[in-house]
Amino acid sequence: MANIIIRYPIQVRNGKYRFFNTHMAPLLTLAFYHPDIPQNVGAAMRLCACLGVQMDIIEPCGFAWKEHEFKRSGMDYRDHVMLTKHASWEKYRANRQETRLILLTTKASVPYTHIEYKAGDTLLLGQESAGVPEDIHESVDERVIIPMHRNMRSLNVINSASMVLGEAIRQVKQ
């Protein structure tokens, strides 16, 4: 099995071709650690494709990786996402650029709106059923939380990603 799969898409809109610039790093990256639910991965692919954000999948996934599984949730967007798959956390760490790693977690105390995002940042999503292990919590540069009403456990991981990516893009593009 190959360690990394990279796609650099071409979009066709109104008969015009749009190429992603493969010589420049994307503005932001969304990384998904050991995802459990293929529909969430498909929704993340769609989110990243629409926002022009790099997407990293850190395996193993909690499901067999089959392209057709993403058809329903990722629709035709799966062909337009800049996607890198990593066989493990160790291989992910070995292959990633030295950029800031920001974990979205319910265990943080800093709201996602209270940090300054920078070009090159990677937003890390944990496994839907368990988050990330403590050693990963300790190894990230920042941990952020989405404030919620008392007694509410968490948002859907893609809803959370959308909110934080929106804020990060707003700040980085100013």
Say if residues 34 and 58 touch (Cβ distance below 8 Å). yes
- Looking at per-residue pLDDT, the higher value among 50 and 105 belongs to 105
The residues facing 10 across adjacent strands are 19
CATH number at 10-172: 3.40.1280.10
- What average pLDDT is seen over the chain? 84
Say if residues 82 and 114 touch (Cβ distance below 8 Å). no
Q: Where are the domains of the chain?
A: 10-172
pTM: 0.83
pLDDT of residue 19: 42
CA dihedral 45, 24, 103, 157 (to 10 degrees): -10
Give every CB contact of residue 31 below 8 A, 6+ residues apart in sequence.
Answer: 55, 56, 57, 58, 92, 101, 122, 123, 124, 125
